[in-house]
Amino acid sequence: MNPKTLILGGVRSGKSRLAETLARDSGRQVVYVATAHAGDEEMARRIAAHRRRRPAHWQTVEEGVGLAAALQAHDGPGRCLVVDCLTLWLTNLLLAADEPLLRETRALLACLPGLAAEVILVSNETGLGIVPAEPLSRRFNDEAGRLHQALAQICDRVILTVAGLPQVLKGEPL
């Protein structure tokens, strides 16, 4: 079985820790696909904290744009692919010079069902707050919402994490 799990939550909700726990408990070889870039000191500290939490034997792949290609390159039975996080990936796509958003999101949605690995996707739920004032932020929220809805249809399990407490919205309970 190659389950696909989408974990949503706010900032510091416990979604990454949950993903790491599920990956560790899977008993599979873990490939951690990181989408963040350390653009400033604060982000560098966040990335470092995530790295320290992960077991040393996990393979880390850094990919900010070509997520579907990275997943396909590291796919295989007996593997667990963790993607952290999709909203940073969306930001990278929206800010890329050639804006590959449509191409890359279509590629991700098309490749997921055929992957032999277990996949755990982490993303920030951005749709629970106010509507942002600036157009790029509104577009980001819209794109994240559309992506989450499409992924929720594909994934076997969808979990909303609030205050460190996972709430299973779809699929098998934890």
Q: pLDDT-derived band of residue 49, with 50, 70 and 90 as boundaries?
A: confident
Instruction: Dig out the tokens for 51 from the structure.
Output: 């790295």
Strand 165-170 to 118-124 pairing: unpaired
pLDDT at residue 1 greater than cutoff 80: no
pLDDT digits (tens, 9 = 90+) for 102-157: 999 999 999 999 999 999 999 999 988 888 999 999 999 999 999 999 999 999 99
Q: Is the peptide bond before 155 cis (omega within 30 degrees of 0)?
A: no
pLDDT at residue 22 greater than cutoff 80: yes
DSSP per residue, 71-135 = HHHT--TTEEEEEE-HHHHHHHHHHSTT--HHHHHHHHHHHGGG-SSEEEEEEE--TTSPPPSSH
Active-site residue, selected from the candidate residues 37, 50, 57, 148: 50
Instruction: Dig out the tokens for 18 from the structure.
Output: 């949950």
Provide the mean pLDDT of the chain: 94
pTM over 0.75: yes
30 by DSSP, 3-state: which?
strand
- 50 assigned to active site: yes
Task: For the chain, give the percent of residues with pLDDT over 90.
Answer: 82
Domains of the chain (ranges; CATH) run: 8-80+87-118+132-170 (3.40.50.300)
